[in-house]
Amino acid sequence: MRWSVAARGSDADVGLVLSLYRESLALKSELDGLLHARSELARSSRSVDEEGRKKKTQSIETKSRLNELRERLYFEASKLPNWVHPEIPKRGEPPRIVREFGARPVFEGFEPLTHLELATEKNCIFFSHLCGGSKFYYGKGDVALLELALINWATTFVSSKYGFAPFTTPDLISHSYVEACGFQPRTEATQVYAVQDSELCLVGTQEIPLASFYSNQILPKSSLPIKMVGFGHCFRKETGSTSEARGLYRLHQFSKVEMFVLCRPEKAKKTHQELLDIQCELLQELGLHFRAIDMPSDDLGAPAYRKYDIETWMPYRDGYGEVTSCSNCLDYQSRRLNIRCRREEGTSPEFVHTLNATAVAVPRVILSILENFQLADGTVRVPEPLVPFMANKTHLFSQRNSSAHTPLYFTQ
């Protein structure tokens, strides 16, 4: 575990966790001794009122100390990340490209606009301070239809072709489930929004409610693998570079369709590759140029044992930008959520393994479509798979399909 912590550059303190654990064992032994002594005194026929009261006071005080120690132990232990796959790029090394598809777009005879310029010219995306910051947006007209089309298409594709059960997920969940999934809502560096005077947090990714759905359950052998695809909203305290401060790339709220799988431990590696295959197929269907990369150890989230990111070409960034991620979390989450399965009737249950993979992070795919599929006439080509989900509209912003409207003005 010390090696995994060092490989990630994590500030988790393995030594402190071990020290607190040993201290808690010693204190538990002391409490057991006091409770046993009280029990023996209660059985004694001689007068032991004073000694019994003394043991009772000591046991109450010891139990209180033990509870405080266990709470601190849990808090420090929750910072410990998962193991690290031995074959991934090491800390400080660049990601390793494992797949590529397509080529950067070539625009002949015209200068393409960024999605921000399109937002102004086409009156279709509005970034406002109505929600307390410019990292919230309104989609209007064709962009609103495009968002709904992406959600419906991705959910339908994954569920009908690969048998994932569709879910809609809540926007709020108890912070205990957020912590169990490997996120830290109670630390200063958290990206999670907590609801004031409440035990609830806004969901940062659909992975959390999907993973938590089966918490504290022993699953029958016949149920695995369990494959879910969930739609919902994500809320994050995103921070980023100046180039990401404006636009759709980094937002405080966005829509996402997420795949999540619970499987037997020996199936996790294969399942991880299958999820990556599905992600690549989705982006190939849309016709976007992308590359899949094996992320280095210091760029893994705490739950991930191994993580692939897929990046599409984004002209406004003059580079690639992440649109999906795909993580194998082993039994890191299932142990915390207590999700187990039995191999055979009468055998002891074991923890399942969990994996997650983005089907579509909606705003970043909208960004990619707007910037990569522009045409000289000012329209944007709709990827063919989305056309049936957009009332057969083949081009965004076409005069034939546009309607008169009053311009809206918001500050960026």
**Which DSSP string do the residues of 337-375 spell out, in sequence order?**
HTEEE-SSTTSPPEE-EEEEEEEEEHHHHHHHHHHHSB-
- The region of weakest confidence among 124-133, 192-201, 221-230 is 124-133
Q: pLDDT tens across 281-303, in order?
A: 999 999 999 999 999 999 998 99
Q: Can you tell me the mean pLDDT for 170-186?
A: 89
Assess contact for 82 and 182: CB atoms under 8 A. yes
Does residue 40 carry a pLDDT above 80?
no
Which pLDDT does position 408 carry in this prediction?
42
Q: Would the CA dihedral through 278, 280, 282, 284 be positive or negative?
A: negative
Does residue 145 carry a pLDDT above 60?
yes
Which pLDDT does position 243 carry in this prediction?
54
Assess contact for 226 and 262: CB atoms under 8 A. yes
What's the Cα-to-Cα distance from 215 to each of 180, 219, 225, rounded to whole Å? Answer: 10, 10, 15
As annotated, the active-site residues are: 236, 250, 322, 325, 364
Nearest to 369 by CA among 256, 290, 310: 290
User: Model pTM greater than 0.75?
Assistant: yes
Spatial CB neighbours of 48, under 8 Å, sequence gap ≥ 6: 41, 42
Q: Can you tell me the mean pLDDT for 122-132?
A: 81
Residues written for the chain: 412
Assess contact for 175 and 201: CB atoms under 8 A. yes
Assess contact for 269 and 329: CB atoms under 8 A. no
Which pLDDT does position 189 carry in this prediction?
65
Q: Can you tell me the mean pLDDT for 20-41?
A: 83
Beta bridge partners, 353, equal 263
Alpha helices in 174-236 (DSSP H): 175-180, 207-212
Does residue 405 carry a pLDDT above 50?
no
Q: Can you tell me the mean pLDDT for 254-280?
A: 97
Q: Can you tell me the mean pLDDT for 161-167?
A: 98
- The region of weakest confidence among 118-127, 150-159, 368-377 is 118-127
Say how far residue 396 (Cα) sits from the centre of its chain: 31
Cis peptide bond N-terminal to 105, omega within 30: no
Q: 57-83 b/e with 16+ CB inside 10 Å = b?
A: ebbeebeeebeebbeebeebbbbbbbe
**Most confident option among 27-31, 346-350, 355-359, 400-404:** 355-359
Cα 3 from Cα 314, distance rounded (Å): 36
Q: Can you tell me the mean pLDDT for 368-393?
A: 96
Query: Strands 339-341, 217-219: parallel, antiparallel or unpaired by DSSP?
Result: parallel
CA 110, 141, 258 angle in degrees (round to 5)? Answer: 95
Assess contact for 206 and 328: CB atoms under 8 A. no
Which pLDDT does position 404 carry in this prediction?
38
Assess contact for 246 and 117: CB atoms under 8 A. no
Q: What residue type is 215 in one-letter code? A: S
Cα 233 from Cα 205, distance rounded (Å): 8
| pLDDT-derived band at 11, boundaries 50, 70, 90 | confident
Nearest to 368 by CA among 259, 286, 255, 303: 286
Around Cβ 404, how many Cβ atoms within 10 Å?
4
Assess contact for 292 and 98: CB atoms under 8 A. yes
Cα 95 from Cα 71, distance rounded (Å): 37
DSSP run (H or E) holding 28: helix 14-43
Q: pLDDT tens across 235-250, in order?
A: 998 765 555 667 899 9
Assess contact for 248 and 364: CB atoms under 8 A. yes
DSSP string, 111-172: -PPPHHHHHHHHT-EEE-STTSSTT-EEE-THHHHHHHHHHHHHHHHHHHHH-PEEEE--SE
Which pLDDT does position 44 carry in this prediction?
67
Query: Strands 226-235, 165-168: parallel, antiparallel or unpaired by DSSP?
Result: parallel
Which pLDDT does position 240 carry in this prediction?
55
Percentage of the chain with pLDDT > 70?
90
For 237, the token pair is 């305290």
For 186, the token pair is 């109670």
- End-to-end Cα, the chain, rounded Å: 45
